[in-house]
Structure 1
Amino acid sequence: MMAAEHGWAVKSSRTSASGGVSSEMLLEDHQEKHFTASDVVRDVIIGVSDGLTVPFALAAGLSGANVPSYIILTAGLAEVAAGAISMGLGGYLAAKSEADHYMRELKREQEEIIAVPDNEAVEIAEILAKYGLEPHEYGPVVNSLRKNPQAWLEFMMKFELGLEKPDPKRALQSALTIAVSYMVGGVVPLLPYVFIPTAMKAMFASIGVTLAALLFFGYAKGRFTGDRPLLSAIQTAFIGAVASAAAYAMAKAVQAS
């Protein structure tokens, strides 16, 4: 199975005896792996991190108010359902807005290529000059792109505007990924309330289970994103602990008043 099927892009190259790169040698020798599934990872991080933190804080706050476990569980599950829908919808709208923005810019750039091709050609030259190419080097590139309107358009979208063509299925995939991730994360802090009827005892068990999940998730997040895994684990667990402690303290303060 190719590495690209797992979200990894593979580049291979080999220099020939003449100093150039032979096309027959492209799939030999040196290979570089680049992680390309960043959008999916980002959605999972958003969903799981919020799913672990928000229901955890809610359950801790209700436990501080001496509410029975079954009420905390009911409220927690309701929050998980509502949160998953809300987060999923937010992900859908964000991805849809990104796709709409790309299409608007694509149409505008296409119109400019037709209406003022010389100006757009100058922009190509300016872009290539920023990479250190001299006029005699980028001139043939500009002429080649002018003969291929589709390649010209794609070049301008990527290198002038910095926009990548979004996957047409991205909005729905983002919504489902965030929603499912939120539900998976949200169930973790609520599990102790299923088996422990006393809210305070369930809360302490929930703290242990959730902090362990936050540490694991933070570590995994660090591994995927290239950050320091241990630092990422500590930061993620710290944020969850602060959120739950704040909710618990607020519930105690309201109860005392």
Structure 2
Amino acid sequence: MTLLAGNAAKQTPPSAGAVSASSVRAEPHESSQTAKLNWLRAGVLGANDGIVSTALVLLSLIAAGASQGTVVTAGSAAILAGAISMALGEYVSVSTQRDTERALIAQEAASLRRFPEEEHRELVESLADYGIPEDIAEQAARGIEANDPLSAHLRLELGIDGEELTNPWAAAWSSAISFLMGALLPMIAALVFLTSGGAVAVVATTLVSLALTGLVSAKLSDTHSGKAAVRLVIGGSLGLAASYGIGLLFGAAVS
């Protein structure tokens, strides 16, 4: 009995430690999935910006009675300007984020060299925050620190994956392309139906597109899809009404 009890006692910590390590290893996968979802959401938002901003410009011009050449020129300029603006803004924003991440990585590496015991205690506390008993968290922390302590500290304490830093060029291209894809929808509608019902075509295309992007966004966020679509449609409708009214006023003033 004593021998069996001793063997059981010896086997229990490694088993619990293995569960703890498995929990820790699952964290990078979750971070990777979150990053992918964030990129998808950014793409949906970029498409929304392209749909709304281009539709408002086109609807104002149509309401003002602009010629087909004017609509094409102004619409194309709006699309190009919006895509470039989105790309530059995303590039600057993500570059700043990456610089911050690099600074945090350098700071954490320096802390591990200068204050190993303090950093060890922080790692144990981070693991304990997941509900792991402290004695098992202590074992897991020792095992982690024997392999790659920097990566573990970055992920658990700062939520950073040192091997997957944000890429400003990828963000810029993604933002610009998603904006262009969204902007082309009302632009095509305006060009096809400009001579007969251009305003109606732009409005219908815009609202349908916003409803679809609302459904996609809700699906990615795992929220109520109907509410997301309704919010976008209502917001888009208000913007379209305002832009059409401005176009009518401008056209009347010019006339």
Q: TM-score under structure 1 normalisation?
A: 0.78
Which residue of 229, 234, 238 corresponds with 1:238?
234
Q: What's 1:134 paired with?
A: 133
Specify the code of the residue in structure 2 equivalent to 1:99. R
Aligned-residue RMSD, C-alpha? 2.9
Q: Where do residues 15-30 of structure 1 align in structure 2 (5 Å cutoff)?
A: none
Specify the code of the residue in structure 2 equivalent to 1:76. G
Pairs aligned (count)? 228
- Cα contact 1:60–1:245 (8 A) shared by 2: no
Matched, 1:101 2:97: no
Unaligned ranges ≥5, structure 1: 1-18, 27-32
Q: What's 1:222 paired with?
A: 218
Richer in helix (by share): 2
Q: Where do residues 1-257 of structure 1 align in structure 2 (5 Å cutoff)?
A: 36=33, 37-148=36-147, 151-165=148-162, 167=164, 170-198=167-195, 201-255=197-251
Partner of 2:131: helix, strand, or coil?
coil
Alpha-carbon shift at residue 204 of structure 1 (Å): 1.4
- Cα contact 1:52–1:240 (8 A) shared by 2: no
- Cα contact 1:92–1:172 (8 A) shared by 2: yes
Alpha-carbon shift at residue 108 of structure 1 (Å): 0.2
Alpha-carbon shift at residue 255 of structure 1 (Å): 4.8
Partner of 1:67: helix, strand, or coil?
coil
Specify the code of the residue in structure 1 equivalent to 2:130. Y
- 1:90-145: CA deviation from partner (whole Å, max 9, x where unpaired): 22222222221111000000000001111111212222232333342222223223
Percent identity of equivalent pairs: 22
Inter-CA distance 213–143: structure 2 relative to 1 (3 Å threshold)? closer
Inter-CA distance 134–228: structure 2 relative to 1 (3 Å threshold)? closer
User: Equivalents in 2 of 1:126, 1:81: separation in Å?
Assistant: 50
Unaligned ranges ≥5, structure 2: 1-14, 23-28
Partner of 2:197: helix, strand, or coil?
helix
User: Equivalents in 1 of 2:163, 2:234: separation in Å?
Assistant: 34
